[in-house]
Amino acid sequence: MMTVNEVSKLTGVSIRTLQYYDKIGLLAPAEYTGAGYRLYDDAALEKLQQILLFRELEFPLKDIKEIVTRSDFDKRKALDQQIGLLELKKEHIENLIDMCKGLKLRGVRKLDFKAFDISKIDEYAKRAKEQWGKTPEFKEFEEKDKNRTDSEKADMMADFMKIFEEFGAMKEQDPASTRPQAQVKKLQSYITEHFYHCTDEILFSLGKMYAGGGEFTENIDKMGGEGTAEFVYQAIKVYCGK
C-alpha cells in the first residue's frame, strides 16, 4: 500500500488532484486508515495510469470516468492508442529540434514552417475520441441528428447562437439576476431538446468550455460582444450552484 503523498511523488500528480479524483468517484483509494488517510494498492495505481493516458488524449474527466468503468473497457487498445499518439508527438518534437539546429547553422534566410504542423497529432486524437467517446449523450445526439437536413442543421445552430446574442444584451447585469438565470434555463432546455439531455453537471462543464478561450469563446463573443462567454459562464455557475 502507498500513501497519497507517496503516490503523488511517484506519479507527479498533486495530492489535491488525487483527492479530487476520489471526491468525484474517478479514482477511489483501496482503503482508508483509521485516521482517514488514503491508501492506494497496485490496482488503484494501474487505474491512475489509465486515467493519465486518457488525459494525454485530452479527454475531459467525466468522459474518462465513463470509459474506465465500462465492463468492456479494453486496456490493450487504450495503450496501443497512447503509444501511437506519443510516437507522433516524438516525431513532432524531433522535427522542431531539427528545424532549430538548421536555424542555428543557416540563420533564418530559408523560412520553413512544416515543423510546426501538428495536424497529424490532432487527427489521431480526434479518431481516438471518436472511438472512446460513445457516451450516452453522444449516442443521443447521433440519434437526433441523423435525419436532419443540412438546412435544418444550419437553422438549429443559428437559433442556438441567437441565445448567446441574447446573453450579450444583458451582460451588464448581475449574472445571478432574474433575466440571466432565465436565459441559462433557456440554453439548457435548447441543448436538451436539440442535442442531448443536458444535466446541471454537463451544463457547468459546457460553461467552463465556453469561457476557456479558443474558438468557442471567440464565436460566443462575436455574437454577444466581448465578455459574453465569460458572462455566460458566470451565470451558469450561479444556476448550477457552483
DSSP annotation string for 62-78: HHHHHHHT-TT--HHHH
**pLDDT value at residue 102:** 67
**pLDDT value at residue 85:** 73
Mean pLDDT of the chain: 82
The fraction of the chain above a pLDDT of 70, given in percent, is: 83
Using 50, 70 and 90 to split pLDDT, how confident is the model at 101? confident
**pLDDT value at residue 176:** 94
**pLDDT value at residue 130:** 58
Query: Closest Cα to residue 183, out of 172, 196, 168?
Result: 168
DSSP annotation string for 179-203: HHHHHHHHHHHHHHHHTS---HHHH
Higher pLDDT, 234 or 155: 234
pLDDT at 175 over 50: yes
pLDDT digits (tens, 9 = 90+) for 204-224: 988 988 888 877 788 889 889
Please identify which residue in the block is written with the cell numbers 513532432. 92
All structural domains of the chain with their residue ranges: 2-57, 75-132, 136-239
Q: Would you give the DSSP letter of residue 115?
A: G
Q: Would you give the DSSP letter of residue 116?
A: G
Which one is the CATH code of 2-57: 2.40.160.40, 3.40.50.20, 1.10.1660.10, 3.40.50.2300? 1.10.1660.10
**pLDDT value at residue 123:** 60
* CATH 1.10.150 correct for 136-239: no
DSSP run (H or E) holding 34: none
pLDDT digits (tens, 9 = 90+) for 113-170: 554 555 655 565 565 555 555 567 667 777 787 888 878 888 888 898 999 999 999 9
Type of residue numbered 83: I
Compute the average pLDDT of residues 218-241.
92
User: Own/partner pairs for 32-41, CB < 8 Å, 24+ apart?
Assistant: 37/3, 37/4, 38/3, 38/4, 39/1, 39/2, 39/3, 39/4, 40/1, 40/2, 40/3, 40/4, 40/7, 41/1, 41/2
Using 50, 70 and 90 to split pLDDT, how confident is the model at 190? very high
pLDDT at 109 over 80: no
Q: Would you give the DSSP letter of residue 109?
A: S
